[in-house]
């Protein structure tokens, strides 16, 4: 199993551009999550999903959108990128309690 | 919502000493408390977790204790080694859901 995979690893965006961060898991987990981690800080939940077709907001959803059309994929969309969205983004999945994290995407908005 | 506070923010110990990191949570319905280790530039990795019906759990050199009455839980690392140097995060899962709220992290440095 590859576990949780994320693409791209790194990205630089200009202010106002849009992009999609990809997340895929091959463990047949129902629950998937998107977090952001700012330097020297903990992880903050952006959006989560309890299954295909069901998504809900986390602590910091503004400026982001998600969709969950399949069990495996949970893409995160950034519209009109802003410098405040410079961060490391982690995707995670779980079957019940334990969450498994992807390797992260380091995003810089300038 | 849940609020998790973590202390200290930095901790320096000598190799072989013990290290203790403490967290408090606000939601008495929270029922799952994991600890993650994150090395520089890497993803968080689960090192130990505890559920609300257990007071203590051990795995070799690491242990976690939970005091539900006081709403706090702690990570204990014994016989620390240089490879234990990393950032450690505690988290709490809200009761009835699957969302984790993370603490702000503790930078542990094990000095030779």
pLDDT digits (tens, 9 = 90+) for A56-87: 999 999 999 999 999 999 999 999 999 999 99
Model pLDDT, residue B5: 97
Q: Taking CB atoms and an 8 Å limit, are A97 and B34 in contact across chains?
A: yes
Mean pLDDT by 10 residues, chain B (112 residues): 94 98 96 96 96 92 96 97 98 88 97 93
Rounded to whole angstroms, how far apart are CA atoms B63 and A106?
A: 32
- Contacting residues for A83 by C-beta, under 8 A, at least 6 apart: A15, A109, A110
Q: Mean pLDDT across the stretch A16-37?
A: 97
Q: What is the DSSP string of B46-82?
A: EEEEEETT-SEEEETTEEEEEETTTTEEEEEE-S--G
Rounded to whole angstroms, how far apart are CA atoms A96 and B76?
A: 25
Q: Taking CB atoms and an 8 Å limit, are A50 and B98 in contact across chains?
A: yes
Say if A44 is an interface residue toward chain B (CB within 8 Å). Answer: yes
Q: Residue A50: list chain B partners with CB under 8 A.
A: 98
Give φ, ψ of A79 to 5 degrees. -105, 135
Residue A39 has pLDDT above 90, yes or no: no
Residue A106 has pLDDT above 90, yes or no: yes
Q: Residue A96: list chain B partners with CB under 8 A.
A: 98
Residue A110 has pLDDT above 80, yes or no: yes
How much is the mean pLDDT over chain A? 96
Model pLDDT, residue B53: 87
Rg, C-alpha atoms of chain B: 13
What's the distance, CA B14 to chain centroid?
20
In chain A, pLDDT over 70 holds for what percent of residues?
100
Q: Taking CB atoms and an 8 Å limit, are A45 and B99 in contact across chains?
A: yes
Res. A2 pLDDT band, cuts 50 70 90: confident
Rounded to whole angstroms, how far apart are CA atoms B101 and B1?
A: 9
Q: Mean pLDDT across the stretch A32-61?
A: 95
* CB B10 within 8 Å of CB B107: yes
Q: Taking CB atoms and an 8 Å limit, are B98 and A31 in contact across chains?
A: yes
Res. A45 pLDDT band, cuts 50 70 90: very high
What's the distance, CA B91 to chain centroid?
7
* CB A43 within 8 Å of CB A36: yes
């Amino acid at each position: 199993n590859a576990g949780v995979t994320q693409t791209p690893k790194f990205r630089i965006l200009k202010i106002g551009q849009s992009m999609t961060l990809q997340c895929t898991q091959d463990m047949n987990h129902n629950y998937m999550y998107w977090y952001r981690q700012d330097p020297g800080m903990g992880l903050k939940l952006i959006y989560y999903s309890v299954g295909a077709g069901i998504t809900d907001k986390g602590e910091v959803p503004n400026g982001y959108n998600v969709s969950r059309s399949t069990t495996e994929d949970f893409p995160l969309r950034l519209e009109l990128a802003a410098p405040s969205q410079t961060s490391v983004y982690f995707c995670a999945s779980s079957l019940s309690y334990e969450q498994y994290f992807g390797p992260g995407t380091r995003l810089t908005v300038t | 919502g849940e609020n998790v506070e973590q202390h200290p923010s930095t901790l320096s110990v000598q190799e072989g000493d013990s290290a203790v990191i403490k967290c408090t949570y606000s939601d008495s319905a929270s029922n799952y408390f994991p600890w993650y280790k994150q090395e520089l530039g890497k993803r968080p990795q689960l090192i130990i977790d505890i559920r609300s019906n257990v007071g203590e759990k051990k795995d070799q050199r690491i242990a976690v204790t939970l005091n539900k009455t006081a709403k706090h839980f702690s990570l204990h690392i014994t016989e620390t080694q240089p490879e234990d140097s990393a950032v450690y995060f505690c988290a709490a899962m809200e009761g009835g859901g699957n969302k984790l709220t993370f603490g702000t992290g503790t930078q542990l440095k094990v000095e030779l």
